[in-house]
Amino acid sequence: MAKQTISNIKLGVFVITGLLFLILLLYMIGKNENLFGSTFRLRAQFGNVQGLTSGNNIRYAGIQVGTVKKVRILNDTLIEVVMLIETKMKDFIRKNAVVSIGTDGLMGNHVLNITPVAGTADLVGDNDILPVKKMESVDDMMQTLAKTNEDVAVIASQLKNTVLRINSSTAVWEILDDKTVPQHIRSSLINVRSATAKASRLISDLQLVLSDIRDGKGSLGAIITDSSFAQNLQAALLRINEVGADADTLAKTINSLTRQVQDDLDRGGGTANVLLKDSTFARNLRESILNIREGTDGFNEIMEAMKHSFLFRGYFRNLEKQKKANLLLKQ
């Protein structure tokens, strides 16, 4: 009988272990399908659900939060998806969160993504309708891809033409084959480099000059910065202006004078006319000058005679001595 009891215990352990595993299996599956635990409902309305069915997973920011309860048609363009979400997510999902249909991986099952959006909004309640975002379906992507492919084909054919033309052109190949081109380019680059170095030096000099000018050094600086200089300049300019005006009047006076002289000359009266136009006056003047020359010649003879006369010889000798003394003093 003791043996019987032991075998019963073993049997009990065996059966209970088996049943526990079954229960665990069913519980784990039920947990995945949200059969246990409290849930609440959310709704979203799509134009096309792309094959979403009840039981598909729902993710909030990538976390599994529930499953699709059912998909039902409201009218010909509107399909409503009812979602079962874990109650604890009520504290996180807001009314402005966007629902979109995606796939798990590239070829996987459809999933419903609830994406949080920046900005404030109230937390969701039971049976709320969330806004949806239309995702690019695979068909749309394929159509876009087809268009892109056509464009690429056109571009490729044109590119082919270009390449063919480049290949057939001798000029391009000459340039490419020319071994001296790199050297030229290199020397050009060296020149450019030295030019830029010079330019930079020039610019630094200019900068120095400009800073000097700004600081008021030099005449240009004085012109630009010194206010008293500017006043002086203004005064000078005023003076120049006045002088200009004076010169104007002077010129007018000269003008009237010359006009008067001209009139005198034309009319035959006055001193100028006599000086310039009267021929008898000229002859008289020449004779007078001849007379003066003869007079001075006579005077010279008289002076020579006086030097040799005993009366005046002493005077002239003193004069000569004084001249020599002056000459010695200078040396």
Partner 1 sequence: MQIKNWKNWFDEAGDMSRFAGRFFSQWFRPRYEVAEFFRQCFIIGYKSLPLVGLTGFIMGLVLTMQLRPSLIDYGVESQLPAMVGIAIVREIGPVIAALIFAGKIGSSIGAELGSMKVTEQIDAMEVSGTNPFKYLVVTRVLATTLMLPVLVMLGDAISLYGSYLGVNIRGVTSFQLFWTQVFDNLSFSDVLPAFIKSFFFGFAVGVVGCYKGYNSRKGTEGVGRSANSAVVLSSILIFIIDLIAVQVTDIFELN
Buried b (16+ CB within 10 A) or exposed e, 246-272: eeeeeeeeeeeeeeeeeebeeeeeeee
Instruction: Please identify, using beta-carbon distances, which residue of 102 and 116 lies nearer to partner 1.
Output: 102
The site map against partner 1 for 132-161 (x = CB under 8 A) is ------------------------------
Minimum CB separation from partner 1 for residue 49, in Å?
Answer: 20
Query: Is residue 168 part of the contact set for partner 1 (CB under 8 A)?
Result: no
Nearest to 101 by CA among 115, 113, 118: 113
Helix (H), strand (E) at residue 2:
helix 2-32
Query: Is residue 18 part of the contact set for partner 1 (CB under 8 A)?
Result: yes
Query: Is residue 10 part of the contact set for partner 1 (CB under 8 A)?
Result: yes
Minimum CB separation from partner 1 for residue 143, in Å?
Answer: 27
Minimum CB separation from partner 1 for residue 5, in Å?
Answer: 11
Instruction: Please identify, using beta-carbon distances, which residue of 102 and 216 lies nearer to partner 1.
Output: 102
Minimum CB separation from partner 1 for residue 75, in Å?
Answer: 27
Query: Is residue 33 part of the contact set for partner 1 (CB under 8 A)?
Result: yes
Half-sphere exposure of 295 (CA within 13 A, CB side): 6
- Choosing from 2, 4, 167, 296, the residue that interacts with partner 1 (CB under 8 A) is 4
Query: Is residue 239 part of the contact set for partner 1 (CB under 8 A)?
Result: no
40-79 residues in contact with partner 1 (CB under 8 A) are: 55
How distant is the alpha carbon of residue 101 from its chain centre?
Answer: 46
- Residue 123: strand, helix, or coil: strand
Q: Where does 117-244 show beta strands of DSSP type E?
A: 128-130
Instruction: Please identify, using beta-carbon distances, which residue of 54 and 100 lies nearer to partner 1.
Output: 54
- Choosing from 2, 7, 144, 287, the residue that interacts with partner 1 (CB under 8 A) is 7
Residue 122: which residues within 8 A CB-CB, separation 6 or more? 94, 95
Helix (H), strand (E) at residue 110:
strand 110-115
DSSP 15: H
Expressed in angstroms, the distance from the first to the final Cα of the chain is 171
Half-sphere exposure of 53 (CA within 13 A, CB side): 2
Instruction: Please identify, using beta-carbon distances, which residue of 108 and 218 lies nearer to partner 1.
Output: 108
Instruction: Please identify, using beta-carbon distances, which residue of 21 and 315 lies nearer to partner 1.
Output: 21
Query: Is residue 15 part of the contact set for partner 1 (CB under 8 A)?
Result: yes
Query: Is residue 22 part of the contact set for partner 1 (CB under 8 A)?
Result: yes
Minimum CB separation from partner 1 for residue 24, in Å?
Answer: 9
Torsion-angle region of 132 (φ positive above 0: left; ψ -120 to 50: alpha; else: beta): beta
Residues that bind partner 1 (CB under 8 A): 4, 7-8, 10-11, 14-15, 17-19, 21-22, 25-26, 28-30, 32-33, 55
